[in-house]
Amino acid sequence: MAAIRRLLFITLAGSLGVTSTGFRANVPVDTRSLDEIYAAAQNESGPLIVASGGDAQSQGDTIRNAWAQRFPRIPLNLTVDLSKYHDSRIDRAFYEKNENTDVALLQTLHDFPYWKEQNRLMYYKPATFNDIYNGEKDLDGAYYPILTFNFGRFIYDSTKLNASLIPKSYADLTDPRYKDKLVLTLPNDDDAILYLFHTIVSKYGFRWLDGLIANNPMWVRGTGTPTFVLQQEHNNATSKLALTITSAAAPANATYFHVKEPQAPEQYMSWTQTAAIFASTKRPNSAQLFISWLLSDEFQSTLQSQGRPIVRRSLDQGELYLSNTTQVDGFRVFMNDRRFVERWRLQFETSLGTAQGPSALTFVP
C-alpha cells in the first residue's frame, strides 16, 4: 500500500510539473549585513540582470540611481517592460536552455507560483523576511513583495477641472459632464486595469461601461500613458482632457495635478509588485543583495516617507490591511485564475475592440 501511495504521489507531482527536488528544507534567514553581502557580490562577474515590470523606462530610474550610489561596484542592468512580455521572454529562455535573467520584479503575480512549481526559483530569506506580511510572501522564501502600487484613484488637472467637479465614485464617470474629459488605459491590454474595471462592472453592471463609452474617453495603451497625455494637453486650450483613473500616480513635477481617492465603500485596486531570484543565476550574491536592499530599512523607509503602504509590518503599522477603500489580496486571487481573467478580458474587448496604438514604452519617457 505504501508503495502504491508513493507511486501515486510521484505521478501527481509529475503531472503538476513538480519534481522531488522542488521541495526544500527550511531555508534560514540570511543574517549578513548589506555590506557583507556587497563584499561577497564583488567576487561575481558581469552585471546583475533584472526584469522590471512597467511601461516607461524612467520608472526604473529610482532603483537604478539609488543602487548605483549605494553599490557602485556592482553594475545593474535593469530593463523596464510590460510584465507580460518579460515573463514570456523569461519562459522562452528557459525552454531554449539559455536563461539570462537573475531577478524578476513583476506585476504578473501568477508567474511566481508557476515558476516555483517548476523548481526555477532560488529559495532565499533576506534579513527582514520575518517582518514581511505573511500574506504577501512565499513562506518558503521563493518570492517576496517589494512595492505597493494601485490604480483607480482620480488623477486630474486642476486647471481644467474644478475640485467641485471631481467624481466621488466610479458611477459618476458616466455623467455627461465628463464627456471628452477622460484618458483611460484599455482594460483588455493590462491585467491590473482589467481587475479594476472588473471590480467596477461587478458593482454597477455593464450599463456603467456603456455609459462610460458614451462619454468618449481617449483609450490608450499603458498605465503611464494617461498622465503623459494629460501633461501634453495641459497647455492646449482646445483640449478638454483632464481626468484619469488608470495611472498609478500623478507626475511629481506638475503642480496642477491632484489625486483624490474614491469615497468608501468604493474600492480601487492595489497590489504588491513581487520579486524572485532565478535558481539559474550566475550571480547569487548580487541577486541576494538586490532583494535584501529592496526589503531593507534603507529602501523601505524611503517609500514610507512618500506615504506609500509598506510590505513590512514594522514600517507599515497595519496600513496595508486597514484601508476601507483598497486591498491587495483580491488581485492576487484574480491573477491566479487565468480562465477567469481571460473571460473578463474578452468582455471588455467585445465592447472596445482589440488594443490598438503604440505601446507606452515607445513614447512615454
Residue 2 is predicted with a pLDDT of 39
How many domains are there within the chain?
Answer: 2
Asked if residue 221 and residue 118 are part of one domain, the reply reads: no
Asked if residue 233 and residue 352 are part of one domain, the reply reads: yes
Within a domain: 250: yes
Asked if residue 350 and residue 234 are part of one domain, the reply reads: yes
Which range of residues forms the domain containing residue 92? 28-149+272-322
Within a domain: 3: no
Asked if residue 234 and residue 303 are part of one domain, the reply reads: no
Within a domain: 299: yes
Residue 277 is predicted with a pLDDT of 98
Asked if residue 231 and residue 136 are part of one domain, the reply reads: no
CATH assignment at residue 218: 3.40.190.10
Asked if residue 181 and residue 318 are part of one domain, the reply reads: no
Residue 163 is predicted with a pLDDT of 85
Within a domain: 212: yes
Residue 363 is predicted with a pLDDT of 64
Within a domain: 333: no
Contacts for 199-204 with beta carbons within 8 Å, 24 or more apart? 199/152, 199/267, 199/269, 199/330, 200/170, 201/347, 203/170, 204/170, 204/171
Within a domain: 33: yes
Residue 318 is predicted with a pLDDT of 80
Asked if residue 312 and residue 218 are part of one domain, the reply reads: no
Within a domain: 112: yes
Within a domain: 20: no
Residue 357 is predicted with a pLDDT of 84
Asked if residue 188 and residue 125 are part of one domain, the reply reads: no
Residue 213 is predicted with a pLDDT of 98
Residue 25 is predicted with a pLDDT of 61
Asked if residue 280 and residue 257 are part of one domain, the reply reads: no
Contacts for 280-284 with beta carbons within 8 Å, 24 or more apart? 280/94, 280/99, 280/120, 281/102, 281/103, 281/122, 282/44, 282/46, 282/102, 283/41, 283/44, 283/45, 283/46, 283/48, 283/102, 284/44, 284/122
Instruction: List per-block mean pLDDT (blocks of 10 residues) for the chain, which spans 365 residues.
Output: 38 38 75 98 97 92 97 98 97 97 98 97 98 94 96 96 92 98 97 98 98 98 93 94 93 87 92 98 98 98 90 89 89 97 98 88 70
